[in-house]
Protein backbone atom coordinates (compact mmCIF):
# COMPACT_ATOMS: atom_id res chain seq x y z
CA UNK A 1 0.00 0.00 0.00
CA UNK A 2 1.33 3.42 -0.96
CA UNK A 3 0.51 6.76 0.58
CA UNK A 4 1.74 10.31 0.17
CA UNK A 5 3.90 11.68 2.99
CA UNK A 6 4.46 15.45 2.68
CA UNK A 7 7.86 16.83 3.68
CA UNK A 8 9.44 20.25 4.32
CA UNK A 9 6.46 21.85 6.11
CA UNK A 10 4.02 20.94 3.34
CA UNK A 11 0.50 19.72 4.10
CA UNK A 12 -1.53 17.22 2.06
CA UNK A 13 -5.14 18.36 1.67
CA UNK A 14 -7.94 16.30 0.14
CA UNK A 15 -9.93 18.56 -2.14
CA UNK A 16 -13.70 18.68 -1.91
CA UNK A 17 -15.44 16.99 -4.82
CA UNK A 18 -16.76 19.48 -7.33
CA UNK A 19 -20.39 18.95 -8.17
CA UNK A 20 -21.61 19.56 -11.69
CA UNK A 21 -23.46 22.87 -11.73
CA UNK A 22 -26.39 23.67 -13.98
CA UNK A 23 -28.18 26.91 -14.55
CA UNK A 24 -31.96 27.11 -14.23
CA UNK A 25 -32.11 26.78 -18.02
CA UNK A 26 -30.14 23.51 -17.95
CA UNK A 27 -26.80 24.86 -19.14
CA UNK A 28 -23.89 23.00 -17.54
CA UNK A 29 -21.21 25.29 -16.12
CA UNK A 30 -17.75 23.86 -16.91
CA UNK A 31 -15.14 23.47 -14.15
CA UNK A 32 -12.94 26.06 -15.85
CA UNK A 33 -15.64 28.73 -15.34
CA UNK A 34 -16.10 27.97 -11.64
CA UNK A 35 -14.27 29.64 -8.80
CA UNK A 36 -11.92 27.11 -7.21
CA UNK A 37 -12.62 26.07 -3.65
CA UNK A 38 -10.09 27.23 -1.09
CA UNK A 39 -10.85 24.60 1.51
CA UNK A 40 -10.35 20.92 2.13
CA UNK A 41 -9.48 18.27 4.71
CA UNK A 42 -5.95 17.75 6.04
CA UNK A 43 -5.01 14.11 5.36
CA UNK A 44 -1.26 14.10 6.04
CA UNK A 45 1.42 16.20 7.72
CA UNK A 46 5.22 15.98 7.60
CA UNK A 47 6.82 13.68 10.18
CA UNK A 48 7.55 15.34 13.54
CA UNK A 49 5.85 18.57 12.48
CA UNK A 50 4.82 21.32 14.84
CA UNK A 51 2.21 22.70 12.44
CA UNK A 52 -0.91 24.04 14.16
CA UNK A 53 -3.36 21.84 12.24
CA UNK A 54 -4.04 18.13 12.61
CA UNK A 55 -5.08 15.32 10.30
CA UNK A 56 -8.85 15.55 9.90
CA UNK A 57 -9.03 19.34 10.29
CA UNK A 58 -10.89 21.32 7.64
CA UNK A 59 -8.76 24.24 6.52
CA UNK A 60 -8.86 27.27 4.25
CA UNK A 61 -5.79 28.06 2.15
CA UNK A 62 -4.62 30.89 -0.11
CA UNK A 63 -5.93 31.14 -3.66
CA UNK A 64 -3.62 29.64 -6.27
CA UNK A 65 -1.59 27.94 -3.56
CA UNK A 66 0.05 24.55 -3.72
CA UNK A 67 0.37 21.79 -6.27
CA UNK A 68 -2.71 19.84 -7.32
CA UNK A 69 -2.20 16.10 -7.77
CA UNK A 70 -4.34 13.04 -8.43
CA UNK A 71 -3.47 9.91 -6.48
CA UNK A 72 -5.44 6.68 -6.74
CA UNK A 73 -8.37 8.53 -8.31
CA UNK A 74 -8.62 11.22 -5.61
CA UNK A 75 -7.65 14.89 -5.97
CA UNK A 76 -5.25 16.39 -3.45
CA UNK A 77 -3.34 19.60 -2.95
CA UNK A 78 0.15 19.84 -1.46
CA UNK A 79 0.28 23.24 0.26
CA UNK A 80 3.06 24.97 2.21
CA UNK A 81 2.00 25.32 5.84
CA UNK A 82 2.46 29.11 5.60
CA UNK A 83 -0.35 29.20 3.01
CA UNK A 84 -2.94 27.84 5.47
CA UNK A 85 -5.14 30.78 6.41
CA UNK A 86 -7.53 29.23 8.93
CA UNK A 87 -9.05 26.04 10.24
CA UNK A 88 -12.75 25.48 10.79
CA UNK A 89 -13.76 24.81 14.38
CA UNK A 90 -17.06 23.89 16.02
CA UNK A 91 -18.42 26.43 18.51
CA UNK A 92 -21.49 26.42 20.73
CA UNK A 93 -22.25 30.11 20.19
CA UNK A 94 -20.67 33.25 18.85
Rounded Cα gap, residues 58 and 40, in angstroms:
6
Rounded Cα gap, residues 13 and 40, in angstroms:
6
Q: What is the pTM of this model?
A: 0.78
Among candidate residues 70, 90, 87, the one with its CA nearest the CA of residue 78: 70
Rounded Cα gap, residues 16 and 35, in angstroms:
13
Question: Domain range holding 49?
Answer: 1-16+35-87
Looking at residue 31, what is its pLDDT? 59
CATH number at residue 64: 2.30.33.40
Round the average pLDDT of the chain to a whole number and report it: 87
Rounded Cα gap, residues 82 and 17, in angstroms:
24
Looking at residue 16, what is its pLDDT? 81
Distance of CA 28 to the CA centre of its chain: 24
Looking at residue 14, what is its pLDDT? 96
Q: Count up the domains in the chain and report the number.
A: 1
Is residue 72 situated within a structural domain?
yes
For the cut 80, the answer to whether the pLDDT of residue 58 exceeds it is yes
Is residue 54 situated within a structural domain?
yes
Amino acid sequence: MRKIQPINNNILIKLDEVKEDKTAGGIIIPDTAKEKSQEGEVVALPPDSDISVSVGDRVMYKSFSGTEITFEGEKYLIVPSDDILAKFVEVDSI
